[in-house]
Amino acid sequence: MKLVIKNLKKSFGDRVILKDINFEFEKGKIYGLLGRNGAGKTTLFNCLNEDLLIDEGTFYLEENNQKKKATDIGYVLSTPNVPEFLTAREFLEFFVTINKEKIKSLKTIDEYFDLVKISKNDQDKLLKDYSHGMKNKIQMLVNIIASPEILLLDEPLTSFDVVVAEEMKELLKSIKKDHILIFSTHIMELALDLCDEIVILNHQTLTKIDSKNLTEKEFKQKIIDDLKEEK
């Protein structure tokens, strides 16, 4: 299965954000989407999630030479959006109830809490009393429960402490075989540690960075050079 993007363009007025994007993302890999601040990473995600209308081009899921629209997308926002008037348990129970027919491997609510290591003391707290990082955990969890074909992750680990970030990285690695995972970040070391492929968004276009025949130092320098390079 692939997410195929062809000739995608997006502008805001006279400002071109994405210009003729062409790329294929494959199932079973975590892609690190690297770009400088303001490069358009979130705009690309918003286009793929259909929160923004694209100006030109198309994107779709391709599986066994059959094309279908890429509507099965989960999106983990950099700023988590959760119903703060509910407890974590109430939110998960509600989410599981309304999505029950679509959830592939249904678990108990306690098992879901265990999956992302939310302690018993926190499970019945109102979400408004959760920290930013804890809200992000819940947002990650509901997307993992929904198990979409494509999972867009916009700076999802920056709010976590060192221990939780490592736990989340291991969780993402454990589920990647069943998904297309695109991980947006501006932190190169994080992308290199977690991701199977590095993709640069720079000067409105996407480019894969090939590490073949390069040492780790040379690979890092190539990424930096590509982020600086005028096209």
Kindly write down the DSSP assignment for every residue of 19-47, as one continuous string. EEEEEEEETT-EEEEE--TTSSHHHHHHH
Which pLDDT score, from 0 to 100, does residue 4 have?
Answer: 93
In the predicted structure, residue 70 carries a pLDDT above the cut 80: no
The domain total for the chain is 1
Q: Is residue 221 part of a domain?
A: yes
Q: Is residue 116 part of a domain?
A: no
Range in 18-27, 65-74, 87-96, 123-132 with the lowest mean pLDDT: 65-74
Which pLDDT score, from 0 to 100, does residue 81 have?
Answer: 86
Give the CATH number for residue 52: 3.40.50.300
Q: Is residue 99 part of a domain?
A: no
Q: Which whole number is the average pLDDT over 144-173?
A: 86
Q: Is residue 112 part of a domain?
A: no
User: For residue 84, which amino acid is it?
Assistant: E
Domain that holds residue 185: 2-82+148-228
Which pLDDT score, from 0 to 100, does residue 213 have?
Answer: 57
Q: Is residue 104 part of a domain?
A: no
**What is the overall mean pLDDT for the chain?**
88
Q: Is residue 122 part of a domain?
A: no
Name the pTM for this structure. 0.87
Tell me how far CA of residue 179 lies from CA of 1, 29, 136, 149, 203, in angstroms.
9, 8, 20, 5, 28
Which pLDDT score, from 0 to 100, does residue 46 have?
Answer: 92
Which pLDDT score, from 0 to 100, does residue 23 have?
Answer: 94
CB atoms near residue 78 (< 10 Å): 16
Q: Is residue 128 part of a domain?
A: no
